[in-house]
Amino acid sequence: MARIEFLGPIGKEPLEVDIKNLKELKEIFSEDKKLQEWLKICAVAINDTMVNSLDVDIKPNDKISLLPPVCGG
């Protein structure tokens, strides 16, 4: 199971999901209308590396992080 972490202000508990790639995650999320507002503005990291494509295989124990817009300093 991959673990999904919702960072910063999203305020949602981590999820464990059984997926083979990010496309499947997008499908699962499509049912969560409330989350869509965040997904619109969130970037994605897999095992702490930012990704730009849905064509990424997900292995068991991968960590998937959702990162909303940032503002340090």
Partner 1 sequence: MLELYDGPLHVEEIIAKWYQDVKDKNFGAFIPFIGIVRDEKGISGLSFDIYEPILKNWFDEWQERASQEGAMLLMAHSKGDVPNHTSSYISAVLSPQRKVGLRLINDFVEDFKANAPIWKYDLIDGKRVYAKERSTLLNGAGLLHEI
Chain contacts with partner 1 (rule: CB under 8 A): 7-9, 22, 25-26, 29-30, 36, 39-45, 48-54, 65-73
Question: Which of 59, 71 has the CB closer to partner 1?
Answer: 71
Residue 18 and residue 66: Cα distance in Å, rounded? 17
User: Tokens standing for 19?
Assistant: 């997926």
What is the smallest separation between the CB atom of 24 and partner 1, expressed in angstroms?
11
Question: Which of 39, 62 has the CB closer to partner 1?
Answer: 39
Bridge partner residues of 4 (DSSP): 15, 64
Residue 35 and residue 11: Cα distance in Å, rounded? 11
What is the smallest separation between the CB atom of 60 and partner 1, expressed in angstroms?
19
